[in-house]
């Protein structure tokens, strides 16, 4: 899988754009800056945006090409992000706690998805938030991005189960129009989730 993403991110073009994900921006714009964990940070658009708002950003991804472009983007904006190369299958928080964990279009096969999602709850401070936007199972009919394997797509019910340790603030299945670079563009079926750790 790192090979796939390295090939996808190898061009100088930011294939998902350089502007933050709309749902991520909507949520983070209303929060006091703190510590942010961004798994699957890709080319760094959300990491860079959070850093410009004053967040302490800890990001990771499998892709060295994604990291290269993310650090380049942060440099252009004159902000600092911490970005590690790591695999979600072997991820552990190692005692760090975060005010916000954000998952933006991160998809896994079911066993890893459930295990990883539950691990992320342990990464949150009491009072911390977890945000997720993911493609819904109905996304298979659209050409606006996402996995072509239905087992890697989600429903609101699945996220509610994965994050059952959180108080759910939002968990909506909806159709949106994506305009994120060249690889996320057009009508899309998504789930938007926001949970709070008590």
Per-residue pLDDT of the chain (198 residues; tens, 9 = 90+): 567 888 889 888 999 999 999 999 999 999 999 999 999 999 999 999 999 999 999 999 999 999 999 999 999 999 999 999 999 999 888 778 999 999 999 999 999 999 999 999 999 999 999 999 999 999 998 999 999 999 999 999 999 999 999 999 999 999 999 999 999 999 999 999 999 999
Backbone angles phi, psi at 157, to 5 degrees: -65, -40
Give the domain extent around 91. Answer: 2-196
Q: Is 179 helix (H, G, I), strand (E, B) or coil?
A: strand
CATH number, domain containing residue 156: 3.40.50.150
Identify which of 115, 109, 107 has the alpha carbon closest to the alpha carbon of residue 191: 107
Number of independent structural domains in the chain: 1
């Amino acid at each position: 899988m790192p090979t796939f993403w390295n090939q996808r991110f190898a061009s100088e073009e930011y294939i998902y754009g350089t502007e933050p994900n709309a749902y991520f921006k909507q949520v983070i714009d209303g929060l006091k800056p703190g510590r942010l964990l961004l798994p699957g940070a890709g080319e760094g658009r959300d990491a860079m945006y959070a850093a410009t708002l004053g967040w302490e950003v800890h990001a990771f991804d499998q892709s060295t090409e994604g990291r290269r472009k993310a650090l380049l983007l942060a440099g252009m904006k004159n902000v600092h992000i911490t970005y590690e190369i790591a695999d979600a299958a072997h991820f552990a928080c190692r005692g760090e706690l975060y005010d916000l964990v954000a998952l933006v279009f991160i998809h896994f096969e079911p066993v890893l998805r459930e295990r990883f999602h539950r691990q992320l709850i342990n990464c949150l401070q009491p009072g911390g938030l977890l945000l997720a936007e993911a493609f819904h199972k109905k996304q298979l009919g659209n050409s606006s991005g996402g996995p072509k394997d239905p087992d890697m797509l989600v429903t609101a019910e699945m996220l509610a189960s994965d994050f059952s340790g959180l108080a759910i603030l939002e968990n909506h299945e909806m159709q949106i129009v994506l305009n994120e670079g060249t690889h996320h563009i057009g009508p899309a079926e998504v789930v938007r989730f926001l949970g709070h750790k008590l």
